[in-house]
């Protein structure tokens, strides 16, 4: 059911019956290593390229989600995913391996909640019984495309963020045991004129604020309805900007309830500058750390607001500003 202008409310309460999370060596040394199903000690994952390693991360996350459920792959109707690389090729190849009907998606780092929102909508309307929804990213593949290859050793400013090497996948079903997806707010593209690709947090913060504001208005609730509101990958800078903007718009909340996945995944002292980013950032934190906290009874209602910068190497080279988007999905026990 559409509520307000941008929000779906899912009366049939689609269920996340299982998840799979995979990370790399940097994530293994991070803040939440126990919330991963698999952690690799090699950035290459035994593959010939970083893009093939990213494909492997996605395949493993899907396989884990299936293994942790009682569902066979043949029972799954759709695979919904995307990534940051040209034409989402690592995801396309992972879809080939899985052999499932495939929706290829791109909303940059907002892809995690874009895929979950669409999966919930299809499940809610009985368009499928089971859907695999997820995304993956790899630090070295993203750096090579959007900035400088890691091997180049280019120095980054303190506003830059560290792309997560990992993959997160959820298995969404009509029935079962697990957290339920209660609503989703689909964001609009917001462009504040920022052109610096090394300051993604500042660029994405207004999009996160716009989507959170619309979600609160559409559902006619207060921010305190949620035990936690978690943005995707704004980092230190974007998180502070977005919090101040929310307060300015009259949406004040306890600062401890407003967190960022890009500040959760790594520990203090890791050289991640302003925090984490990448399509896998919100996916692994949500499907690993936050859902584990829900299962432990620490959280009952959370709102995940995945943020994405919709630029490309070409648009940056042509001095275009960076358009951004955010999608919000509410998950409840």
Q: How are the residues of the chain apportioned to helix, strand and coil, as percentages rounded to the nearest 5?
A: 40, 25, 35
Question: Residue written as tokens 């959007």?
Answer: 146
- Comparing 100 with 153, which gets the higher pLDDT? 100
pLDDT in tens, 1-48: 899 999 999 999 999 999 999 999 999 999 999 999 999 999 999 999
pLDDT at 252 over 90: no
Q: Of 213-217, 299-303, 308-312, which gets the smallest average pLDDT?
A: 308-312
Rounded-to-integer distance, Cα 257 and Cα 2, Å: 27
pLDDT in tens, 266-298: 998 999 999 999 999 999 999 999 999 999 999
pLDDT at 204 over 80: yes
pLDDT at residue 157, rounded to an integer: 83
Residue 303 gets the label, from left (phi > 0), alpha (psi -120 to 50) or beta, of beta
260 Cβ contact partners less than 8 Å away, ≥ 6 residues apart:
230, 231, 232, 233, 234, 235, 238, 239, 275
User: How high is the mean pLDDT of the chain?
Assistant: 95
Q: What does DSSP assign to residue 142?
A: H
The mean pLDDT of 237-241, rounded to a whole number, is 96
For the record, the structure tokens of 102 come out as 């495939």
pLDDT at 57 over 80: yes
For the record, the structure tokens of 41 come out as 């000690």
- Comparing 332 with 143, which gets the higher pLDDT? 332
Q: How far is CA 64 from CA 22, 123, 137, 240, in A?
A: 9, 21, 17, 35
The mean pLDDT of 60-67, rounded to a whole number, is 98
The mean pLDDT of 299-321, rounded to a whole number, is 93
The mean pLDDT of 67-82, rounded to a whole number, is 96
pLDDT at residue 316, rounded to an integer: 83
- Contact assessment for residue 103 and residue 118, using Cβ atoms and an 8 Å cutoff: yes
Q: How far is CA 18 from CA 65, 177, 284, 287, in A?
A: 5, 9, 13, 9
The mean pLDDT of 45-57, rounded to a whole number, is 97
For the record, the structure tokens of 174 come out as 């009509």
**pLDDT tier for residue 142 given thresholds of 50, 70 and 90:** confident
The mean pLDDT of 246-273, rounded to a whole number, is 93
pLDDT at 164 over 80: yes
pLDDT at residue 317, rounded to an integer: 85
pLDDT at residue 147, rounded to an integer: 73
Q: What does DSSP assign to residue 288?
A: I
200 Cβ contact partners less than 8 Å away, ≥ 6 residues apart:
161, 233, 235, 238, 277, 309, 322
pLDDT at 94 over 90: yes
- Contact assessment for residue 301 and residue 325, using Cβ atoms and an 8 Å cutoff: no
Rounded-to-integer distance, Cα 288 and Cα 301, Å: 16
Rounded-to-integer distance, Cα 297 and Cα 333, Å: 9
226 Cβ contact partners less than 8 Å away, ≥ 6 residues apart:
257, 301, 302, 303, 330
pLDDT at 144 over 90: no
Question: All domains of the chain, ordered by start, with CATH?
Answer: 2-173 (3.40.47.40), 180-332 (3.40.47.40)
């Amino acid at each position: 059911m559409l509520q307000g202008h941008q929000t779906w409310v899912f009366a049939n309460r689609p269920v996340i019956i299982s998840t799979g999370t995979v990370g790399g060596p940097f994530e293994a040394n991070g803040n939440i290593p126990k919330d991963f199903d698999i952690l690799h000690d090699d950035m290459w994952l035994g593959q010939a390229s970083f893009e093939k390693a990213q494909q492997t991360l996605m395949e493993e996350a899907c396989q884990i989600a299936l293994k942790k459920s009682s569902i066979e792959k043949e029972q799954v109707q759709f695979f919904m995913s995307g990534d940051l690389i040209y034409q989402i090729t690592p995801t396309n190849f992972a879809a080939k391996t899985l052999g499932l009907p495939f929706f290829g998606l791109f909303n940059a780092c907002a892809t995690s909640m874009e895929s979950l929102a669409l999966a919930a909508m299809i499940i809610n309307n009985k368009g499928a019984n089971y859907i695999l929804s997820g995304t993956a990213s790899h630090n070295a593949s993203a750096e090579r495309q959007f900035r400088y290859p890691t091997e180049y050793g280019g120095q980054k400013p303190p506003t830059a963020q560290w792309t997560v090497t990992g993959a997160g996948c959820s298995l969404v079903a009509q029935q079962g045991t697990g957290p339920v997806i209660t609503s989703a707010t689909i964001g609009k593209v917001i462009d504040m004129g920022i052109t610096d690709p090394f300051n993604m947090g500042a660029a994405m913060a207004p999009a996160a604020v716009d989507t959170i504001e619309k979600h609160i208005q559409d559902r006619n609730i207060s921010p305190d309805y949620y035990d936690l509101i978690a943005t995707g990958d704004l980092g230190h800078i974007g998180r502070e900007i977005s919090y101040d903007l929310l307060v300015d718009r009259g949406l004040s909340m306890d600062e401890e309830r407003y967190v960022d996945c890009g500040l959760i995944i790594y520990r203090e002292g890791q050289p991640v500058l302003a925090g984490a980013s990448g399509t896998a950032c919100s996916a692994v934190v949500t499907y690993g750390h936050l859902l584990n906290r829900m299962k432990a009874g620490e959280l009952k209602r959370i709102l995940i607001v995945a943020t994405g910068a919709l630029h490309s190497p070409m648009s940056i080279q042509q001095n275009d500003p960076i358009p951004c988007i955010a999608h919000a999905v509410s998950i409840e026990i």
